[in-house]
Structure 1
Amino acid sequence: MNSKESDIQQVEQVIENVENTENIDTTNTEQLLDFTNMFKSQKVAKPKLLNRQQQQQQQQQQQQQQQQQTTQSTEEQNNKSIKNTVPRNLTITQEKMSQRRCLDVRRWYSLSRPQYQRSCGISSVVTCWNYLFSTLGVGNLNPLSQEDVIVSLGLTSEVGPHFNDVEFGSFSGNMSLISWFKNICRLQKVQGRAYFLWKNEGDFATPGVDRDVALQKLTNGLKTDKISFIYHAYDHYFCPIGYECTPNKQVEAFADEIDYNDCQYWIIIAEPAKPYPMFTVRKWVDIAQDLELKYPQYMNIRKMDEGIKNYKYDKGVSQHCIMAFERIDPKPKKVIEKKEKINSNEESKIIKNNQTDQQNEGPEQISENIQNIEPINNDLVKQNDQS
């Protein structure tokens, strides 16, 4: 029975197919059935054999995909579980903040600005001296003008060419600045000294001083009021007057204690040339790179976008450095307390008066003294007998 029913069903399907084919538009080829693929033998594509390099590349790609998937999943989990830290109840003080941010406004007051053409050297020396010794800074003397210093040092006469016409660049060097500072101190009758804080090569180089030691000396000096600094950059002198130690972590902006090794140091430099802003702020890393470059390489710290360049001549020595100018306070005089000595004449008078008093004593006074002494002696004898 089952076979008959199946045969009947097949016949019915054939009849339905025939009826459907009558309604098909034979002009439209898209509606016609395509039986060509039914009679084609389907070939199974064989996997291509890979070289060792291809196999390694395939494995690396698979590993990278797995790593990316894992990192994405971990980042998603972290983003979901991150809880921002919000510093509250801050207790930082001005004293603690002064260890990371230092800017003495009196150093800015002492800045000799604007300079004359190429007079940055003598203008920077005047800036240092005014801060150390004048009332603009921490001293008690009248401030000095750069014109007064130029004339008093004999760099040019008061009646002569204009200061703009003086070729300061022809005789301004590191040792010139040091000698000018000493001569100004001598003329003003004060004591001071100047030396190289950090110079990488050439004459007066500072062995044993690297960028870390120089940074420590510079920051310590800027905290005090006894030292001023001049930075000799490319074809220019100007004065560092402050710094900031910026933490790399945002939450440590007002933290009581920070890791100073995990910070970025910025140096604030006072600019005497009027075409530039009054402050030039640069990273200490960039300044250290400038000072560590050896001739013929150099870098213009005021134009960082120009990068590292080379001088035309191969022979030479880099003169870039940081110089320190220090005030020497006079030692306080020791006050010795002198005992009052009696004159010999007064001593002789006192002795004579004592002698005359003894001579004037009569026999009655002597007998009275003896009588006063006898009872004392008798009492002592009785005490000895009783014992």
Structure 2
Amino acid sequence: MERYPRQRLDDGRWQCVARPQYRYSCAISCLVSIFNHLFNRDMTLDECIAILFPDLKEDPRHYDFGPQASNSAVQSWFKTLCTHYGLSGTSCTMYKEQGRTRTACSKQEALKNIISALNTPRCALLYHCLNHYCIIVGYIISPSTPNRPSNHCVFSGDDGCTLKLLCADGTEAEDVDDSNIWLIVADCGKGTAPLRSLTWEFVHKDISTRPPYAYNARCPERGLLRKTESKGYIPVEIDSVLVNNTGVSTCVRSGGVIKGSSHCIIGFVGD
């Protein structure tokens, strides 16, 4: 079993965060951050925009890139940048619970892949949350009680995906509750905190909740939200389990196709 440190905040990933972003450039700013980290470059946001949008006439400070930014578009842009600079890199959707591109891995498998990626220098993780993209740069796994010497963790169990903390002598100490697993997220937005921590419990709920319901990773204290006809979001008092049940409170496209959430985690690798 591979051991991982109980907490990690990668300085290389953090130093490459392209901040501040333009008002509508969160996806591209995150991509600049990821690309510079993976390939040890110093590409600027404007240089990236010039490569990806060579025919853009508008001022990028005010241009709305949002309608063109999607999970597939970000991965395509990454490929374009690699080709432009003669580099080799790959990307994939690492964890997605909803929609046609949902992944087959379980929540536990996804967490294992995330922890592994954050301990791999040539990997980077993009988090698509509510109307925004940000970067996962680290994590901390907390024991249930203080004064328990534990600096490492492992994934064990029959499926190899049960997270356990290790005692100082190397023996398995305890299982870890999802509310004690924190992902450290970097934000390129000018008016938001550069770093925030989100529990794995919250991230899972965010990714697994169907429209018109959602969680806002930038304001997790608001709890479960519902999209209104004016396209805003208001808090609601309802168990998220009900929202996730098939056929309950779902958003349906024309033709009767259930629309899944686009929220996910995308992995990038610099070969």
| TM-score normalised by the chain length of structure 1 | 0.55
Over the matched positions of the two proteins, sequence identity in percent amounts to 26
- Match for residue 319 of structure 1 among 249, 262, 265: 262
Secondary structure, counterpart of 2:133 in structure 1? strand
- Match for residue 43 of structure 2 among 125, 140, 144: 144
CA change 1:227–1:260 in 2 (3 A) is farther
For residues 44 and 196 of structure 2, what CA distance do their matches in structure 1 show? 23
- Match for residue 84 of structure 2 among 174, 187, 198: 187
For residues 299 and 259 of structure 1, what CA distance do their matches in structure 2 show? 33
Secondary structure, counterpart of 1:239 in structure 2? strand
Note the alpha carbon deviations across 1:169-199, whole angstroms, 9 max, x for none. 1211111100000000000101001110011
Note the alpha carbon deviations across 1:177-230, whole angstroms, 9 max, x for none. 0000000000010100111001111121102x1221111100000001121010
Q: C-alpha displacement at 1:301, in angstroms?
A: 1.5
Aligned partner of 1:227 in structure 2 is: 123
Q: Which of structures 1 and 2 has the bigger CA Rg?
A: 1
Question: Relative contact order, CA 8 A, sep 6+: which one is greater?
Answer: 2
Q: C-alpha displacement at 1:253, in angstroms?
A: 4.3
Aligned partner of 2:75 in structure 1 is: 178
Q: Within 5 Å, which residues of 2 pair with 1:84-103?
A: 99-103=5-9
Count of aligned pairs between the two proteins: 223
- Match for residue 107 of structure 1 among 4, 8, 13: 13
Note the alpha carbon deviations across 1:80-114, whole angstroms, 9 max, x for none. xxxxxxxxxxxxxxxx7x61011110101110100
Q: Within 5 Å, which residues of 2 pair with 1:1-387?
A: 99-134=5-40, 142-154=41-53, 156-157=55-56, 160-207=57-104, 209-254=105-150, 255-256=167-168, 257=170, 259=173, 261-262=175-176, 264-312=180-228, 314-315=251-252, 316-328=259-271
Task: Give structure 1 regions of 4+ aligned residues with deviation exceeding 4 angstroms.
Answer: none
For residues 115 and 306 of structure 1, what CA distance do their matches in structure 2 show? 24
For residues 21 and 42 of structure 2, what CA distance do their matches in structure 1 show? 16
Q: CA RMSD in A?
A: 1.8
Q: C-alpha displacement at 1:247, in angstroms?
A: 0.5
Note the alpha carbon deviations across 1:356-377, whole angstroms, 9 max, x for none. xxxxxxxxxxxxxxxxxxxxxx
Q: C-alpha displacement at 1:295, in angstroms?
A: 2.3
Asked if structure 1 preserves the Cα contact closer than 8 Å seen for 2:98 and 2:207, the reply is no
CA change 1:250–1:202 in 2 (3 A) is same
Q: C-alpha displacement at 1:279, in angstroms?
A: 0.3
Structure with greater proportional strand content: 2
For residues 295 and 325 of structure 1, what CA distance do their matches in structure 2 show? 27
Single out whichever of 172-181 and 289-298 deviates more from structure 2: 289-298
The one-letter code matched in structure 2 to 1:305 is E
The one-letter code matched in structure 1 to 2:218 is R
For residues 326 and 224 of structure 1, what CA distance do their matches in structure 2 show? 9
For residues 35 and 173 of structure 2, what CA distance do their matches in structure 1 show? 35
For residues 273 and 199 of structure 1, what CA distance do their matches in structure 2 show? 24
For residues 192 and 262 of structure 1, what CA distance do their matches in structure 2 show? 33
Stretches of structure 1 lacking an aligned partner (at least 5 in a row) = 1-95, 135-141, 329-387
Structure with greater proportional helix content: 1
Q: C-alpha displacement at 1:155, in angstroms?
A: 5.5
Secondary structure, counterpart of 2:83 in structure 1? helix
CA change 1:163–1:244 in 2 (3 A) is same
Secondary structure, counterpart of 2:33 in structure 1? helix
For residues 54 and 190 of structure 2, what CA distance do their matches in structure 1 show? 22
